[in-house]
Amino acid sequence: MVLTHRTVENIDIVALAGRLVMADVPQVRQRLLAIVEQGSGKLILDLAEVGFMDSSGLSVLVSVFKAARAKSGEVVLLHLNPTVRSLIELTRLQQVFSIFDDEATALARLH
Amino acid sequence: MTRTISLSIDSRPECIELLSCALYGLCQLTGLPATEVARIDLAMVEAANNAVEHAYGGESGHPVVVEFHLTPERFCLVVLDRGAAMDSRQLDLAGTFGDPDFSDPDTWSIRGRGLAIIKSCMDVVEYHTRDGLNALSMSRALGSAHPA
């Protein structure tokens, strides 16, 4: 799993690439929690290059969202592919995560 | 006629992806669209995760075997382990997902929902333990889209 991090106007944007599955969970959770801890708590997760995610991967998103909320921030999801979107809808978590198809709209949400 | 292939991996999370690679190859024989193959992959990965994480308690060095059975009508997968058996009632109790409450983080957790995901992705899911061998079998009819 490849993780790329940049910051735009105090909002962290992290792009993940690969399969987000149990084998990757410890490393990805640690890095995302560190970004939330050190940043503003406002995080865009760009999942355009995540082709597959299991429930352990989804649990990482939930734990990062909880950490962001604890800082009065938020995590929003960007560019979901159909497979990942299907898992999120199956678990009803689209009612927790805001999901966007373009970065400008996601940034506007977090400003 | 049933065609069968069996694969064995070590009980390490990083080995589960090998099963997915094999599954995608086998599914080329089924005619299933990519979205349906992804659902079968998700079910298999969740079952293998359970074997690694719960049956073997995260300990490596144990076998996780997946049998793939293909007939013209059905695609069946059986995930086998020799670790701690699951209470078979857990499978019956694994139901649909309720709506999480945005204002209540306690309702967001999806830990332990792997069985519910498996049941939602496959037509038939069964669990049996015999002589120390645990078998989670799941099957999917071919030739029709799975209901969302």
Question: How does pLDDT run across B79-89, given as a tens digit for each residue?
Answer: 999 999 999 88
Q: Which residues of A touch B110 (CB under 8 A)?
A: 55, 58-59, 62, 91, 93
CATH number at residue B23: 3.30.565.10
Q: What is the pLDDT of residue B145?
A: 56
- Helix or strand or coil: residue A30? helix
What's the gap between Cα B119 and its chain centre?
A: 9
Choose between B93 and A93: higher pLDDT. A93
Structure tokens at B125: 């899911």
DSSP string, B122-137: -SEEEEEEETTEEEEE
Q: Which residues of A touch B9 (CB under 8 A)?
A: none
Contacts for A38 with CB less than 8 Å, ≥ 6 apart: none
Q: Give chain A's domain count.
A: 1
Please state the rounded mean pLDDT for residues A93-110: 95
- B33 φ, ψ (degrees, to nearest 5): -70, 165
Domain for residue B148, yes or no? no
Domain for residue B60, yes or no? yes
Please give the interface size between A and B, counted as residue pairs whose CB atoms are below 8 Å apart.
Answer: 78
Q: What is the pLDDT of residue B147?
A: 52
Domain for residue B127, yes or no? yes
The closest alpha carbon to B139, from B119, B122, B117, B116, belongs to B122
Q: Give chain B's domain count.
A: 1
d(CA A62, CA B60): 27
Query: Under an 8 A CB cutoff, do A59 and B109 touch?
Result: yes
Q: What is the pLDDT of residue B146?
A: 56
From B14's Cα to the closest Cα of chain A, the distance in A is 5
Angle at alpha carbon of residue B110, lines to B107 and B111, rounded to 5° = 115
Whole-prediction pTM: 0.93
Q: Which residues of A touch B148 (CB under 8 A)?
A: 86
- Helix or strand or coil: residue B53? helix
Half-sphere exposure of B59 (CA within 13 A, CB side): 9
- To which H or E segment does residue A14 belong? strand A11-20
Q: At residue A13, does pLDDT exceed 80?
A: yes
Domain for residue B133, yes or no? yes
CA distances from B35 to A62, B70, B75, B137 (A): 24, 19, 15, 21
- Tens-digit pLDDT string for chain B (148 aa): 899 999 999 999 999 999 999 999 999 999 999 999 999 999 999 999 999 999 999 999 999 999 999 999 999 999 999 999 999 888 888 877 777 777 777 777 766 789 999 999 999 999 999 999 999 999 999 975 555 4
Q: Which residue has the tokens 């990519």?
A: B34
From B122's Cα to the closest Cα of chain A, the distance in A is 13
Select from A19, A90, A97 the residue whose CB has the most chain B CBs within 10 Å, as the one to mutate to test that interface: A90
Question: How does pLDDT run across A29-51, given as a tens digit for each residue?
Answer: 999 999 999 999 999 999 999 99
A74 in contact with chain B, both atoms CB, cutoff 8 A? no
Complex-level ipTM: 0.92
Domain for residue B147, yes or no? no
Q: What is the pLDDT of residue B148?
A: 47
d(CA A29, CA A13): 15
- Helix or strand or coil: residue A89? helix
CATH number at residue A34: 3.30.750.24
CB atoms within 10 A of CB A7: 13
Q: What range does the domain containing A56 cover?
A: 2-110
From A39's Cα to the closest Cα of chain B, the distance in A is 21
Q: What range does the domain containing B13 cover?
A: 3-141
Q: Under a CB-based contact definition with an 8 Å cutoff, are residues A28 and A20 in contact?
A: yes
